[in-house]
Structure 1
């Protein structure tokens, strides 16, 4: 084991190696910070934090196809002519964020997120992040044209896996040093309260890294059963973890303990999505990754273990419901549900989520047969109620179709095809995309709740991301980004805005930290070397 003595010569230290951390490190290096070091609690084989497990979606303001084509690598001239993509304005983004978060998002944070989203994704592209138009997740081909929907059009090449690989390459080019299996343990401050270093651990040995600026980007507490139960509520300790098992909240706790960091945001809220019930319980799978997501519910129905519907599957576009429907599933009997489709819509399901290699499918020639198989194989408690629910739903759809025969089904817009007519209304509507389930064979998939990230975090100065203490003063030299930044999301969020937030505020934090490092006591970069074997 290498000998770890007190380390000198680090100008900016980034704690956490996901999208936000790498964005911060890149920005600090670009701003001339000098020696930038990024440490990551996880071993190298778990690199990337939760960002690795995403689909790589970035929500950004844009001016239409021509604005985005220069930064994507998957659109040729012929395909470009077939794309229908409306501009996504700052007003659109603001309305979506306000609507998803019930108007509680911090105004200063949300304004920066929105106003800097376009420039930030282009900055990422200049640093080698490969973007694509998200045809597979955010567009339907309707009448021969690709119709993008939900205000989100960009994703990274190879999803989260590609995003992290590109971030790592950018860090190498800029001279950022990256060390894995190196968890931060506590923050060290001067007598005046300025940050002077971080104690880290490597193979059981603690050492002090002295630095003028620290950026916390270590994720939330979604992989910590105790903290989930404490903050999210009863039974959340048994929820499935969608991503990395290393986001267990220690950085939040030691920031609150060591510098009196002020807490902010929705500590009882989280991003939780529809997740394959056969997925691992305590972490994601780095091979299958985001493909455990099961977001085809707007095309069909979701019924709980007692055979009842419990959400309006068509209340909004998927981008605006998937982060909260996991919670709804978790609140059902045994924390599971069944997604159901017939032959009208099975072909519209995304292959990466629903292909045979990725999911267990239950088939039935009739709804009755499907219900019986679900009872026998998947634990459905009330097969007869399941049948009755589908029957009642179909009757409501038939009534709507009879009343409005000209209403066209279109999965790319909120089409108004519903279960609610003047002659029959369901107590729980399906407000859009309501087609009858009457063309067998039928398919069902069992789902549960997958916790992605938690919304509670630390209060910051929005302009710099400097951490605010409980005395409402900035902690000099300490910054916070990514999932640890509190106050942006409440209860829900617009899909794709998490990665955008990590990059927008990571960029700001890196730039601000470089200035703090430059104004501090000069350090000699050659006075110490981080030489242990976990280095990238």
Structure 2
């Protein structure tokens, strides 16, 4: 859709969840929808940014099942199923504690508190005002234990059809409102007025890069994603080896938004803040496309079943504690750990006890290459063709692990396997200990058939970004920390929120929370700025 005007109340860069929430919020707050413009470098068929490739999980504070039933009422109607759900409340203290714990307490506390305090309200806004279709994430965040559906890891909600469904719902609302879009458009600079305020952008069309447009606006919101698809910037900020990571999502997130602010005059330029050496990087299918996500399978290339088995590198050695915590507290760092292994890959391995609990969406034969064998010896032989350099060490690693599990079970006879809690079923007993423990869910690998999947690192989004005011989402100047008039930021471009690791599902929530706040400011400015 071509814009009807070249002067706007608000311009948003990026069509992901954060950008779409900003635009919808801006209209609600008073912007004329025909004067709200979303610009994206990607073609229209790639709308949605990284959000499209997610599982659509939202981490929010809640009071348990009864609190969330109004949010999922359109999609969850099976009363018999609802009657067997066990869902513990997830408090503000829980949510804030998880972000701070995983980030070694480096995160900006004001940003954390804003995200946490707004999380339940933003959920209602997304469902009621936008029409996002939520379901309970029993397919990813719950196990059937004794006939009860037991949720774990604090996160219980996802969008129907994942990231695809989220972007579908948000685009539908944006189009219904009459919000304008420009795809295939590269923003080459920010317009600076009187050397002190942002009043629009300079842009060129991918089809005709010789003609530069001047598009004026009272507010510009940066929601253009991180630098995860830029090999050069990954090498610069994340370090050697990161050029080999697979890009999980859009190939268009190359850090362009950061270049725009670094090109500003010195008196307006913000600092780059947060963990620029950190990112969300998960275990990813080795045979997936390397430089972009796959728009049909999207998140199905994730390989998150490792707590039920072992991860072993090409030298035949384990390299992480697969049961250190619930999967959604470790998956964002175990991709990096895998990339650091010889050759940048490893193998996930299970026996039939573990494979029975794997998600078919991630491990079905139509998604990944499952290497099956009736014995561990046969499996080691097959894995030689996939890059296993030390088959004997591979077998010895599993044998030592099995002996440690057996010793633990003999000493702690009251500890039982339960995938829905941190069950304490481990490998460390008085009789035997492993150098790298498995702290929970330590099932022995003894019952064939055995299965292995080759994995690598899939980079999701980067953690470094821009400083913002937590209340308004205004970008802040480097030295004075004053607000830059007319410039706002949300989504992956926010810095100082996540450090080293993050609790799964909080990224989409943060994009919506700060996007809504930025949109509100755009609405206020549309009514008060000349």
Does the 8 Å CA contact 1:29/1:175 hold for their aligned counterparts? no
Q: Partner residue of 1:155?
A: 158
1:8 Cα offset (Å): 3.0
SS at match of 2:352: coil
Among 76, 83, 101, the alignment partner of 1:81 is 83
- How big is the shift at 1:393? 0.2
Find out whether 1:391 has 2:399 as its counterpart. yes
- The DSSP-based 3-state class of the residue aligned with 1:321 is helix
Which residue of structure 2 aligns with residue 183 of structure 1?
186
User: Is the CA contact 2:305–2:358 (under 8 Å) kept in the aligned structure 1?
Assistant: yes
SS in structure 1 of the partner of residue 322 of structure 2? coil
Residues matched between the structures, number: 517
The answer to whether the 8 A contact 2:190-2:202 is kept is yes
* Separation (CA, whole Å) in 2 of partners of 1:350 and 1:335: 24
Aligned pair partner of 1:33 in 28, 31, 53: 31
Query: Which one of the candidate residues 436, 442, 452 is aligned to 1:434?
Result: 442
Q: Distance between the aligned counterparts of 1:194 and 1:318, measured in 2?
A: 44
Q: How far does the alpha carbon of each residue in 1:1-38 deviate from its partner, in whole angstroms, 9 at most, with x for none?
A: x9x99x63310111100000000001000001122111
2:422–2:441 CA contact under 8 A, matched in 1: yes
CA contact (8 A) 2:30 2:526 kept: no
Q: Could you tell me which residue of structure 2 aligns to residue 400 of structure 1?
A: 408
Alignment pair present for 1:475 and 2:484: yes
Query: Does residue 95 in structure 1 map to residue 97 in structure 2?
Result: yes
Secondary structure in structure 1 of the residue aligned to 2:486: strand
SS at match of 1:78: helix
Cα deviation for residue 69 of structure 1 reads: 1.2
Asked whether the equivalents of residues 219 and 525 of structure 2 are also in contact (C-alpha less than 8 Å), the reply is yes
Aligned CA distance change for structure 1 residues 75 and 86 (closer, same or farther; 3 Å): farther
1:192, CA displacement in angstroms?
Answer: 3.8
Question: Which range moved further: 491-500 or 260-269?
Answer: 260-269
Counting only pairs closer than 5 Å after superposition, residues 114-263 of structure 1 correspond to structure 2 as: 114-126=116-128, 127-202=130-205, 203=207, 204=209, 205-258=211-264, 259-263=268-272
3-state SS of paired residue (1:260): coil
Structure 1 counterpart of 2:457:
449
1:143 deviates by 0.6
Listed as ranges, the matches of 1:295-334 within 5 Å are 295-334=304-343
What SS class does the counterpart of residue 263 from structure 1 fall into? coil
Per the alignment, in what secondary structure is the counterpart of residue 353 of structure 2? coil
CA RMSD of aligned residues (A): 1.2
SS of alignment partner, residue 458 of structure 1? coil
CA distance in 2, matches of 1:455, 1:297: 24
Q: Does 1:11 align with 2:14?
A: no
CA offset digits 1:441-476 (Å, max 9, x no partner): 100000000000000000111110101112322110
Q: How much has 1:185 moved relative to structure 2?
A: 1.3
Contact 1:367 1:387 in 2 (8 A): yes
Q: Which sections of structure 2, spanning at least 5 residues, go unmatched?
A: none
Separation in 1 of the partners of 2:314 and 2:271?
41
Counterpart in the other structure of 1:533: none
The answer (yes or no) to whether the contact 1:274–1:326 under 8 Å persists in 2 is: yes
- The residue that corresponds to 1:104 in the other structure is 106
Q: C-alpha distance in 2, partners of 1:107/1:177?
A: 35
| Contact 1:277-1:447 within 8 A present in 2 as well | yes
Indicate if the aligned counterparts of 1:220 and 1:247 stay in contact, CA closer than 8 A.
yes
Rounded Cα–Cα distance in structure 2 between residues aligned with 1:201 and 1:226: 23
Q: CA deviation at 1:83?
A: 0.2
Structure 1 counterpart SS, 2:185: coil
- Partners of 1:517 and 1:323 in 2: how far apart? 39
1:457 partner SS: coil
Question: Does the 8 Å CA contact 2:244/2:344 hold for their aligned counterparts?
Answer: no
Counterparts of 1:185 and 1:207, CA distance in 2: 10
Q: Is it true that 1:357 corresponds to 2:381 in the alignment?
A: no
* Aligned residue runs from structure 1 range 367-386, under 5 A: 367-376=376-385, 378-386=386-394
Equivalent-residue separation in structure 2 for 1:75 and 1:284 (angstroms): 33
Are 1:294 and 2:296 matched, yes or no? Answer: no
Distance in structure 2 (CA, Å) of the matches to 1:292 and 1:374: 20
* 1:255 partner SS: helix
The 2-side partners of 1:237 and 1:427 are apart by 30
Partner SS state of residue 344, structure 1: helix
**Structure 2 CA distance for aligned equivalents of residues 185 and 137 of structure 1:** 41
**Native 8 Å contact 1:270 1:452 kept in 2:** yes
1:269 to 278, 288, 300: 278
Q: CA deviation at 1:104?
A: 0.8
The answer for the alignment partner of 1:279 in structure 2 is 288
Hey, what does 2:469 align to over in structure 1?
Answer: 461
Question: Match of 1:464, SS?
Answer: coil
- Structure 1 residue 75, shift from structure 2 partner: 4.1
Contact 1:75 1:133 in 2 (8 A): no
Equivalent residues of 1:465, 1:479 under 8 A apart: yes
CA–CA distance in structure 1, aligned partners of residues 286 and 344 of structure 2: 10
TM-aligned CA deviation for residue 298 of structure 1: 0.0
Q: Deviations over 1:28-86 (max 9, x none)?
A: 00001122111111001111000000000000000000111111113421111000000
